[in-house]
Each structure stands twice: as structure tokens, then as C-alpha cells.
Chain A
């Protein structure tokens, strides 16, 4: 029998609704592989739907159900949509780092990574008067030194890894630290289930958009399991994908399903990290509190 984690107010499990507001950054990065790809309109319009429409409809839903979200926003998308970023902050949601243009940190050296991290902190300070406390690695893997570079610059947690379903203390240079990882999973990612583009192909093998009922069935079954085991359920939602009128219905149904349970702690990333740091030591053992 697994140990059950202790959550705030004795909640049975934690739920972190996270939103990767990538805008057109990922499309532009992909299109750069083609000569003249900088002029492609259609694929970028798929991404722009996120900040233009999807994120706004999602904010309305979060308000309707009175639940907090954590938005991981590339610095460039924040610069392009200042009013939206201010609205996210003003409505009590958290904003985290997600690269400047959704860069692959895996490909970058120390200096370039530092430049991106600091540039994004400045953008958030300018827009909402505070730096981000969390980070989600964009486009796949980060570099081996990324967590240290973040931690040294005041970023206190990440939600990037896939190797657990509860938070843990990240080891940096072989030592456990207070840099908390709040892992998520591909099966909780709407992009995996429903993102599509014909050219450039998304996904690469151009598989079909999944049936919405089946997507909801997977998500809600995962939540039921996280609740049963008392874990930290981290949904990964992309406003450009989930923002369509039909897919918002999946999200709304999921939030409704989770809320029905009652004893669930809906938390922002920073709150989960703070809670875990305060209650669990670096051996992941409950402190005497």
C-alpha cells in the first residue's frame, strides 16, 4: 500500500490545472525548417487561436467554477498579449516561465539559458510587477544544468518531468534541494490527444484528432486514480487546442467531475511547491508539523 501524501486542509488529492499558452511560437519554430516558412499563415493561425480566443474562454470557465490555474507563458507571447497576461494575474492565477519563444533548452549552453530565463523574468516584472516562481520546460527536454540555473535565479519549482505522479525535491549536482518538481504526464496533455495540422504535419505521423468523449474518458479515469491514491493531478492544457467551443466542453465536464468529489485541493503551482517544501523533507518524508 502506497503512503498517502498529506495535502492542505486534509484534502484527498491535489489538482493543478496548468495551461501552456504557446501562441504561435511552436509553429514559428517548426516552420523555420522550411524556406520561406516565416511567411506561413495557416499553421500560425492555429496557435494564435490560443491567446486570441481560447485563453479568454478558459479564464471565464475558471471564474465560473472558482478554481485557480497556472499559466506557463513564453515571454514573447506575454509581450504580444499584455492585456491578457494582466488579466490572468488580476484574476488570481499564477504565471510561470516557458522560455521566450518556446526554445529547446536541451540545445542551449549555460549563457543562452541564463539570458532567456532573465529576459522572461524582466518581462513578467514589467507586466505584472513580479517574477515567475515556476517553470515548465518547453519542447521536450532541458539541459542537465537547467534546474540549477533556474534555482540560482529564484525560480522555486518546475513542472516538467514525467517520472512521478507526486512532487519531489530535485537533485542538483547530486544533492536534493528545495527546488521542487511537480511532474505531469503525457496522458494528461490535451495536445497529445487533439492537436492537428496538415502541413507542417502535427503530430509528425499525422494521426487523427481523438474522439472527445474518449479524451474525457481518459482524463476522468486518470483523475479518479489520482484521487484514489491521493496524488497530485497536473493537467496540461493548451488554450489553442482546448479553446474550441467543443473542447471547452471536455474541460468543463472534467472540472465539474473533479469538483463533485469535494475533498480536492485545487492549487496553483507555487502553492503546491510551497506546501511540499514545508511539509516534506529532502528525503521526501513528512516533517513533524
Chain B
């Protein structure tokens, strides 16, 4: 399979995704952060200041995004998460706590997944169909647990630049919509002294360069007819100085006319109809 046929003859596909990790990002980073209000406040900034700006921008551009929401965030910010859903965005799973499922017992991950899914169902009243693993590591057990809790797609791996069917090794398949570090704002921008983030205390990246990287990835995606997945975290992407660059990027993606801007669920529906698992299971 060389050229993918995207919906409505679009040249490529683009997913605008949002990780609502809030302060749970920092709690997973270092549990002691529970006693550190200053560090926690960086995550709270995302929900209190970043998210409203992002939602307004998405409304204005008429772009629907996919929000991966940890159960811990949905429980603490239920009204805000309901608002996201009511404005037409997709709510997808991210487990409950944002722990490192690569190094924790599989049973614990399964219980966390169940809890995260239950909180989301309670808060938004629908069963989510997508999942993204937390920022650290995970195993096939993590994805099996997501599938068992209703996820038909995941956006967690980086081994391709088009959706593909991932064999879960238990007779089930999951559609993976891969994402890459290059298109995720938080690793470029997150900073803290104690606990140190990043570990080596690298400087906050230059804004113009970061958004230029995003733009270059998008332009390359258009050239090659692929699927790019932008990951935003409002705690880092939506500061007053970064908002104009984000607005510029999303406007360009929208106005290029080259991209089918899809939610994860829409991608799943399209892909499973056009390239179903039994038709083409290894791209």
C-alpha cells in the first residue's frame, strides 16, 4: 500500500489532540509533589487558564479535537471536562493516575484503567472509545486493559506515521494512531527546579523554533500524504506568549485545505471501514 486515500480526497490527515494531565503529570513525576503547592500549581494553570483559551481558539477555528483525560483530572475538574465534551470535542481515556505502566504490575494497571473509564463515563455520560497511555512507558498489558475497557483505538506508539492495526496477542486488535515526540509541546516547554524537570535542567525551548518544528512536520505530512498527530497540554501550550503561535499553526493547518482534521473516533470509523483489520493488517 503506497498512497493512502484519506476522507473526502484530502491530501493527508491531522489529529489535534490534547492531554489534560493537569497536576497529575507532576504527581506521577514525583509523588512528593503532593506536598508542593507551587509545583502542583503548574498543572492547575493548564485547567484554569490554558484550557479556556484553547477551547475558545478551537471554537473560533471550528476544529474538533480529541481530549485524553485521566480519571484523576475528570474527578477534580468535572465541570470543565463536561464543558469540553459539550463543545463537541471527543473525550478519550488516559487511565486514572498517570503512572509508569512499564514498571508497575499489570493488575494494578488494569484496575487503574477500569477506574479511569468509570470516572469518564460518570462525568460525560458516554463510553469513550479511544485511549492514550501516559507519557512514560507501558506494555501490551496496558493496551489490553484499555481495550477491555472499551478502547477500540489507541494513540500511544511511534512506530509509524499512518494508523495501523496492532495485534494485542490475545485474539484482539486495536487501531493504533501513532504520535511522535516531535509534535508534542510539553517535552519542549515543561520546566521545574525541584523536582528537576527536565532531569538535566535543559532550557525551555525557543517558541518560534518549536512551532516551526510543528509546522515542518505538518508540511512533510502533506507532502507525503500521511497522518500527523499534534499533542498539546494546555499547561504548557497555552501561555499568553505561545497562544499566538498555536493560533498561527492551527490556522495554517485548517486553511491549507490539505488536511482532513479528524478526531480519534472519526479516524477509527474511517479506517476500519476503508482499511479494515482483515483487509490489510500489516501496512
Contacts from A to B (Cβ < 8 Å): 34-37, 39-46, 48-49, 52-53, 57, 194, 196-201, 203-214, 244-250
Contacts and interface: CB of A to CB of B under 8 A. Distances in A.
A57 B142 CA distance: 31
Contacts of A203: 200
Contacts of A205: 198-202
A28 to B, nearest CB: 13
Most chain-B Cβ atoms within 10 A of its Cβ — which of A199, A208, A209?
Answer: A208
B183 to A, nearest CB: 8
B100 A199 contact: yes
Contacts of B212: 211-213
Most chain-B Cβ atoms within 10 A of its Cβ — which of A49, A53, A245?
Answer: A245
B67 interface: no
A245 B217 contact: yes
Given A53-B161, A57-B224, A245-B224, 5 more contacts: A39-B102, A49-B158, A246-B213, A247-B220, A249-B223
Interface string B172-216: 000000101110000110000000011111111110111011111
Interface stretch (B119-127, B133-141, B244-252, B267-275): B133-141
Contacts of B157: 41-42, 45
Contact of A206 (B103, B199, B218): B199
19 contacts: A35-B103, A40-B138, A41-B138, A41-B139, A42-B138, A42-B156, A43-B137, A49-B161, A52-B159, A53-B160, A196-B181, A206-B202, A211-B213, A245-B219, A245-B224, A246-B213, A246-B214, A247-B182, A249-B223
B191 to A, nearest CB: 10
Contacts of B73: none
Contacts of B201: 205
Contacts of A197: 181
Nearest to B181: A196
A48 B159 contact: yes
A52 B102 CA distance: 23
Nearest to A209: B182
B182 A194 contact: yes
Contacts of A210: 209
A206 B200 contact: yes
Contacts of B93: none
B182 A199 contact: no
Contact of B205 (A44, A209, A247): A209
Contact of B181 (A35, A46, A52, A207): A46
A146 B159 CA distance: 33
Contacts of B139: 36, 39-41
Contacts of B205: 208-209, 211
Nearest to B139: A39
Contacts of B187: 196, 198, 206, 208-209
B228 interface: yes
A208 B202 CA distance: 7
B220 A40 contact: no
A74 B234 CA distance: 41
Contact of A34 (B103, B199, B221): B103
A43 B102 CA distance: 10
A249 B216 contact: yes
Most chain-B Cβ atoms within 10 A of its Cβ — which of A41, A44, A45, A204?
Answer: A41
A87 to B, nearest CB: 14
Given A209-B188, A246-B219, A41 B199 contact: no
Given A199-B136, A209-B182, A246-B217, A52 B160 contact: yes
Contacts of A39: 102, 139-141
A203 B181 CA distance: 13
Nearest to B191: A208
Contact of A199 (B135, B204, B216, B220): B135
Contacts of B214: 246
Given A213-B209, A245-B221, A36 B102 contact: yes
Nearest to A35: B103
A45 B202 contact: no
